[in-house]
Each structure stands twice: as C-alpha cells, then as structure tokens.
Structure 1
Amino acid sequence: MDLIHVNVNVADAEETIEFYEQFGFEESWEFETPDGETQNRYIAADNGVELQLSDTEGENEFEAGSAWDHLAIGVDDIDSVFEEIDHYGVDKEPADQPEAGARTAFVRDPDGRRVELVESLE
C-alpha cells in the first residue's frame, strides 16, 4: 500500500503552489469539477507523493479542526532553508530534537497550515 496524495483546501492555488515549489514540489496535473467552481491542482514531491490543492471559488477561510496537525517536509540544510524561504509565520525556529534524530522547525503555509521542516541529524 502506498500513500498517493493528501487533499487540502486552499484560498489561492497559485500562491500555495509557489510556497511548496520552494521545497522542490512540482505541479503535476489538474482538473476542474463539472460545475466549474473548484479547481484541483496537484503538486508532487520527488518521491511521487502529491498534494491535491482544492481551490473553490469564494472560499478563502477554513476551519482546521484538531485532528490534523502538520505536514512534514524533509530538507538537507534546515537552517539555510529556514532563512531562504518565504513563509506565512513561524511557530518554532530550528532546533535539535535528539530523541527524534532530527533538527526541526515549524512554519505556516499561505492558508495557515503548520509545515514541519525536518533535517536528519545522522
């Protein structure tokens, strides 16, 4: 069994794509719902896992709920990535997490979702 994609609702697909392109995601395909109200654009990581970005006309605020916490993205050099990327808020600056064997940081994407940056300490 493989993880294929995760779907997230976005206020502006283009802005969200630009954010995730900073981590190497590339737009892979798209489709529009039959009613023409929702544009679904997919961006893929190097390993093939995709994020489906659903941009519905007129919807720009979303209730996050408490069941979903964050999306984790692996990076080679967390400190340089943290300094270079455009983000929409910082929840936690880079710090070692020896118990997890990683150095991590948390930033926000255009719709306020938490994105964890992870660099292996090994």
Structure 2
Amino acid sequence: MELIHVNVNVADAEETIAFYEQFGFEETWEFETADGDTRNRYIADDNGVELQLSDTDGETDFEPGSAWDHLAIGVDDVDRVFAEIDHYGVDEEPTDHPEAGARVAFVRDPDGRRVELVESLE
C-alpha cells in the first residue's frame, strides 16, 4: 500500500501552486471534471508525493484548514526557510521539539491550512 495523493480544495490554484513551489513542489499534470465544474491540478515533490488541488474559482464556503490538522514538509534549515518563504500567517515560530527529534515551525498556506516545517535535530 502507498499514499498516492492528498486532495485539497483551493480558492486560487495559481496562488497555492506558487506557495508550494517554494518547497520544491512542481506542477505535474491537470484535468477537468467531465461536467466542467472542477479543474484539478497536481503538484509533486522530488520523492513523488503529490497534492491534488481542486480549484474552486474563489469559492471559500468550505472551512479552510479545518478538514485536517497540517501538512508536514521536511526542510534542511527551518529558521532559514521560515525567514525566506512567503506565507499567509504564523502559528508557531521555529522551536525545538527534542521529544520528536525535530525543530519545527507552523505557517499557513493561501487557504489557511497549517503547514509544518520540519528539520531533524539529528
């Protein structure tokens, strides 16, 4: 068994793609539903982990950030990435979590979802 992708609704796919490109994700493919209601765009990291972004053309009636807690992205230097990326809010500034063996920070993506930046302390 393997994780194929995670699907999230986004108000503006272009803005969301630009946010995740800061972490090395690249757009890989897209399709539109047969009824033409939803355009789905996919982005993937170097390991093939994929996010499916369902563009809602500005629709925000879904509760942004509430369907799941966060997406964790491994980085080499949490402090550097935290300082350099464009984000849409800070939930937790870089902090060591020795019990987890990691230094982490939590920021928000364009639709309000929590994104955890994780750096191994080992």
TM-score by length of 2: 0.95
Structure 1 residue 48 corresponds to structure 2 residue 12: no
Q: Is the 8 A contact 2:65 2:113 kept in 1?
A: no
Q: Is the 8 A contact 2:10 2:55 kept in 1?
A: yes
Structure 1 residue 7 corresponds to structure 2 residue 7: yes
Q: Quick one: structure 1 residues 26 and 120, their matched pair in 2 at CA, closer, same or farther if it must change by over 3 Å?
A: same
Following TM superposition, by how much is the alpha carbon of 1:66 offset from its aligned partner in structure 2, in angstroms?
A: 5.4
Aligned to 1:27: 27
Following TM superposition, by how much is the alpha carbon of 1:65 offset from its aligned partner in structure 2, in angstroms?
A: 7.4
Q: Is the 8 A contact 2:12 2:58 kept in 1?
A: no
Aligned to 1:70: 70
Q: Is the 8 A contact 1:43 1:52 kept in 2?
A: yes
How many residue pairs align between the two structures? 122
CA RMSD, Structure 1 to Structure 2 (Å): 1.4
Q: Distance in 1 between matches of 2:120 and 2:31?
A: 36
Letter in 2 for 1:41: R
Q: Secondary structure at the match of 1:96?
A: strand
Sequence identity (%): 85
1:98-117 map, 5 Å:
98-117=98-117
Q: Is the 8 A contact 1:73 1:117 kept in 2?
A: yes
Of residues 6-15 and 57-66 in structure 1, the stretch that sits farther from structure 2 once superposed is: 57-66
Q: Deviations over 1:42-95 (max 9, x none)?
A: 000111010000012352342157561000000001110000000000000001
Q: Is the 8 A contact 1:37 1:57 kept in 2?
A: no
Q: Deviations over 1:7-29 (max 9, x none)?
A: 00000000000000000000000
Following TM superposition, by how much is the alpha carbon of 1:115 offset from its aligned partner in structure 2, in angstroms?
A: 0.2
Structure 1 residue 121 corresponds to structure 2 residue 121: yes
Q: Is the 8 A contact 2:64 2:111 kept in 1?
A: no
Q: Distance in 2 between matches of 1:65 and 1:20?
A: 16
Unaligned runs of 5+ in 2: none
Runs of 4+ in 1 over 6 A off after TM superposition: none
TM-score by length of 1: 0.95
Unaligned runs of 5+ in 1: none
